[in-house]
Amino acid sequence: MGMSPYKMLDNQFQDLVADQTRLVVEIGSERGEGSTAYFRDWAQARGVDFHTVDVTDEARSHFANNVDYGGIGDIHFHTVDTGHAWCRDVLPTLNKQIAVLYLDNFDWIDPVNLQYQWLHDQIAAYAVRGVVMSNENSQEEHRLQTLYCLPHMAHQSIILIDDTYYDVTSPTGWGGKCGTAIPLMLAAGYAIANTDQGVVCYRGIDFKYL
């Protein structure tokens, strides 16, 4: 079950430089859980550009049609074929460095959920887009996003990731969505903290989880 690691931004990372030279990027827009609204408010308060990327336009419609949700505000929505292609092709044209990256997209199959119809419906919805919803494909998508984002990360920056956990059976020591992306982050100098709010990778800034 997903967590909300982005909520650490407000109470753990007050020293993070966030201004007009920086970006907040979310790959995997919210489905009613609140991440996109949280980043909109956090970025708006600091004058930082916020981009949210997804393969569907459900979040954009949701924000546009529900005034109670606070509106679209300054959110830059991107509806794409894949998040990694956006990171490869569009991100470099923005000419800004990412201060906060949130990776929580291509859904993960927890085998305990195979008993539920909603998961089979989700797998079928991916198939309609011509995509095999498998955990290998989820990891590869998150790995490629990381690969293409890393050159655009500010030195002082954080990467928040969801549905990722220690896994002694994995060659990387990590399982879940970012199981194969974490070695890239480590090689780029990020430290990784596995907290009860989710995983946070940080570089150029202190982090003492309270």
Ligand X SMILES: C[S@@+](CC[C@H](N)C(=O)[O-])C[C@H]1O[C@@H](n2cnc3c(N)ncnc32)[C@H](O)[C@@H]1O
Positions 93 through 132 that interact with ligand X (CB under 6 A): 104-107
164 binds ligand X, rule: CB under 6 A: no
91 binds ligand X, rule: CB under 6 A: no
| Nearer CB in complex with ligand X: 17/147 | 147
Among 9, 22, 29, 43, binds ligand X (CB under 6 A): 29
| Nearer CB in complex with ligand X: 55/185 | 55
CA distance linking residue 39 with residue 48, whole number of Å: 10
141 binds ligand X, rule: CB under 6 A: yes
5 binds ligand X, rule: CB under 6 A: no
Cβ-in-10-Å burial (0-12, 13-18, 19+) of 190 comes to: buried
Question: By rule CB under 6 A, what string of x and - marks binding of each residue 41-80 to ligand X?
Answer: ------------xxxx------------------------
| Nearer CB in complex with ligand X: 82/164 | 82
Number of residues that bind ligand X (CB under 6 A): 19
- Interface positions with ligand X (CB under 6 A): 2, 27-31, 33, 35, 53-56, 82-83, 104-107, 141
